[in-house]
Amino acid sequence: MQPDTCYPLTTDSLVDTFGRRIDYLRVSVTDRCDLRCTYCMPKGFNGFEEPANWLSHAEMHRLVSLFVCLGVGKIRLTGGEPLLRHGIAELAGAIAATPGVRDLSLSSNGTQLARHARALYTAGVQRLNISLDSLDADCMARVTGRDCLADVLAGLRAAKAAGFAPIKLNMVVQRGVNDHELHRMVQFAVAEGYVLRLIEPMPMGETGREAVGIDLNRLGQQLAHTYGLIPEIKGQGAGPARYWRTSDSSMSLGIITPMSQHFCASCNRVRLTVDGTLYLCLGQEFQVPLGAMLRDGADDIALLDAIRAGIAAKPERHEFTEQPAKIVRFMSQTGG
List, for the chain, all residue ranges whose pLDDT scores fall below the cut of 50: 7-12
Q: How far apart are CA 179 and CA 176, in angstroms?
A: 6
The DSSP call for residue 300 is: H
3-state DSSP assignment of residue 49: coil
The sign one gets for the Cα dihedral 68, 73, 79, 83 is positive
Question: Residue 192, exposed/middle/buried by CB under 10 A (0-12, 13-18, 19+)?
Answer: middle
Which residues are bridge partners to 197 per DSSP? 170, 254
pLDDT digits (tens, 9 = 90+) for 265-283: 878 999 999 999 999 987 7
Q: How far apart are CA 331 and CA 336, in angstroms?
A: 6
Q: How far apart are CA 111 and CA 282, in angstroms?
A: 25
Would you state the pLDDT for residue 315? 86
pTM: 0.91
The DSSP call for residue 298 is: -
* Domains in the chain: ranges and CATH: 24-334 (3.20.20.70)
Q: How far apart are CA 151 and CA 157, in angstroms?
A: 10
Backbone angles phi, psi at 317, to 5 degrees: -165, 165
